[in-house]
Structure 1
């Protein structure tokens, strides 16, 4: 019978220790052969969030939130290493901010202007405009 070994990066352990009983913690597992355990290749972000991640404006594990007072809706999502969004209450990740927002609101909506970086308050659109201004210089 094969042996399953799970190795957690110390950053993951620190995040788990800070989580409360109400937090959702997402863990991504990848398969490798025994020869690759010491040096696995990093995940490359792709999709709409890739440029923001490559510019270090957001990172894997970044929490995004929104609150619509009038509609009495709120949402929370976590950015994955490959640039997708895991939305609380949904099993599968979403490839774009707008698809993730639509999953929460039930409406077609611009996720770039809806999602805010938790603790920072800036929208993904704000970050995208910052990146555009950096690259246009």
Structure 2
């Protein structure tokens, strides 16, 4: 019988042990690829969709945690960027193709996810996806 061995990075183990019973933990398993950002066929995963340009410019990376807080509505959301440029939102099994669709899944309203989602920076809100997009546009103008 074949044996499957799974090795986790220590940071993943730390995250799993600190997760509460209400947290959703997403684990991606890739078989047969030495490169974690490669597809099962061994080819690198190429980002596509709305976040692709930010990822190609290294302004956003796979595994980046995005958060938002709406104080008045008492809502918050957390998402993780996938290697192909989608967002996995806590509490949802399928990834979302755009920041706005991901935000809508959490808020229940049509909303501009580009201005809502912030890159998490040491537990504090960092720049919005819209700020990263403007930075990329300013680089392209120069």
TM range (shorter): 0.7 to 0.9
Secondary structure at the counterpart of residue 55 of structure 2: helix
Of residues 63-72 and 117-126 in structure 1, the stretch that sits farther from structure 2 once superposed is 117-126
Mapped to 2, the partners of 1:131 and 1:80 lie a distance apart of: 20
Task: Tell me the residue number matched to 1:15.
Answer: 11
Query: How does 1:119-134 map onto structure 2 within 5 Å?
Result: 119=121, 121-134=126-139
Residue 102 of structure 1 is matched in structure 2 by: 104
Structure 2, unpaired ranges of 5+? 36-41
Q: Deviations over 1:30-60 (max 9, x none)?
A: 455xxxx557222111110011111111111
Q: What 5-or-longer segments of structure 1 have no aligned partner?
A: none
CA RMSD of aligned residues (A): 1.9
TM-score, normalising length: structure 2: 0.81
**Larger strand percent:** 2
Q: What is the correspondence of 1:29-48 to structure 2 with a 5 Å cutoff?
A: 29-32=29-32, 37-38=33-34, 40-48=42-50
1:61 aligned residue:
63
TM-score (structure 1 length as normaliser): 0.84
